[in-house]
Amino acid sequence: MNTPRSSRSFGWSRWLSTQWQRWFGSFVSANPATPKPRKALPWVPIRSLSPRHKPRIARHLLALPAQDRYLRFGYAATDEQIGRYVAGLNFVRDEIFGVFNRRLDLVAMAHLAYSIDPQWATCAEFGVSVSPHQRGKGLGAKLFGHAVMHARNQGVSLLFIHALSENVAMLKIARQAGASVQRDGSETEAYLALPQATLDSQINGLVQEQMAEVDYQLKMQANQFREWLCTVQEIRQGVRDARDAARGP
């Protein structure tokens, strides 16, 4: 019996998660710049975003409650201000990463912004947001670890986080990664010195990107199959209705 494509896709996702933990779990645990959560978290496919993902980025950010917007941007961002932020994202200079659910909704994203000042060419700033219904899964820590790895491989030596002092979740991630945290009233700054890139970190980054891309394509195929199935069911229902109408009462 043939297995439906959607079921095969979810099976592949589970296989990818298992392989990732088996192949690279030891490297992540040994990486001094990777956040170390208390519990071992499953592999999360983190994909680099491009300009074509702007509508999904906008939907994700606009869906954030007022308090989450305040913590993410440092002020109570309006819909208009979020729109300008999304429109101004520089996908050439910076790195924007995202986590998609099985329906390809963006449920978490991170912005790794590189300095435009040549004097601080080896510095970058990190910002993250997670949808409320996805909290407690370690996505923020995963995105931070991914950003750390990517920044290392790009020659960044200092990762900077600027957050409100009440943003406990973000500051906890920074502290667990070994960052130096300095509080100044309502605002807090964290600095994390990054080790130089190694062959392991570079291979790790390449393979993770490839696996995340495979996961994304499988989810896309599953969504396309579901849409096709819904269309077929609608057509079949239309045929039944037309046949019943032709038969009359």
> pLDDT of 215-244, one tens digit each?
666 666 666 656 656 665 666 665 566 555
Q: Which residue has the tokens 């019943």?
A: 244
54 pLDDT exceeds 50? yes
Percentage of the residues of the chain whose pLDDT score is greater than 90 = 33
Q: Could you read off the pLDDT of 136-157 as tens digits, one per residue?
A: 899 999 999 999 988 988 888 8
Specify which residues 125 forms β-bridges with: 113, 160
Total residue count of the chain as it appears in this document = 249
Burial letters for 206-225: b for 16+ Cβ neighbours within 10 Å, e otherwise?
eebbebbeebeebbeebeeb
Cα 222 to Cα 228: distance, rounded to the nearest angstrom: 10
Tell me: pLDDT of 8 over 50: no
The string of pLDDT tens digits covering residues 165-219 is 899 889 998 898 888 888 888 888 888 888 776 677 666 766 677 666 766 666 6
**Closest alpha carbon to 143 in 173, 180, 182, 183:** 173
